[in-house]
Amino acid sequence: MKIRTSRPAILVASAVLGVVALAGCASSSETPDTTEAAKEAKDALAASDEETPESEGDATDDASDAPLDGSNSGLPPSLDATNGQSALFGGQYTYGDGLIVRVGKLKPYSVSDNWLLDHKKWPQVTFQVTVFNGTDDRYDPSGIYSTASSGGREGEEIFDSANGIDGTPSTTLRPGKKVSFDLAYAVKDADDIDLEISPGYDDDFNEWAPILFTTSAS
Amino acid at 133: N
Cα–Cα distance measured from residue 115 to residue 111, given in angstroms and rounded to the nearest whole number: 9
**Would residue 139 be called left, alpha or beta, if left means φ above 0 and alpha means ψ between -120 and 50 degrees?**
beta
Q: What is the pLDDT of residue 85?
A: 77
Q: What is the pLDDT of residue 140?
A: 96
Q: What is the pLDDT of residue 3?
A: 39
Q: How many helices (H) and strands (E) would you count in the chain? A: 1, 12
pLDDT tens for 30-60 read: 333 434 544 444 454 344 344 433 333 333 4
- Residue 18, judged by CB atoms within 10 A of its CB (0-12, 13-18, 19+), counts as exposed
Read off the pLDDT band of 66 (50, 70, 90). Answer: low
Read off the pLDDT band of 19 (50, 70, 90). Answer: very low
Q: Which positions ≥6 away from 142 have C-beta within 8 Å?
A: 168, 169, 170, 200
Which secondary-structure segment (H or E) carries 211? strand 211-214
Cα–Cα distance measured from residue 171 to residue 4, given in angstroms and rounded to the nearest whole number: 100
State the chain's mean pLDDT as an integer. Answer: 75
Read off the pLDDT band of 120 (50, 70, 90). Answer: very high
Q: Which positions ≥6 away from 106 have C-beta within 8 Å?
A: 89, 125, 126, 127, 190, 193, 215
pLDDT tens for 139-156 read: 999 999 999 999 999 999
pLDDT tens for 169-208 read: 999 999 999 999 999 999 999 999 999 999 998 877 888 9
Picking from 213, 203, 201, the residue whose alpha carbon sits closest to that of residue 130 is: 213
Q: What is the pTM of this model?
A: 0.67
Map out the domains of the chain as residue ranges: 1-52, 61-214
Read off the pLDDT band of 68 (50, 70, 90). Answer: low
CATH no. of 61-214: 2.60.40.1240
**Residues 135/167, Cβ–Cβ less than 8 Å:** no
pLDDT tens for 69-100 read: 544 444 556 887 767 778 999 999 999 999 99
What φ, ψ does residue 16 adopt, rounded to 5°? -60, -45
Cα–Cα distance measured from residue 218 to residue 203, given in angstroms and rounded to the nearest whole number: 32
Picking from 70, 127, 99, 128, the residue whose alpha carbon sits closest to that of residue 201 is: 99
Number of alpha carbons in the 13 Å side-chain half-sphere of residue 25: 6
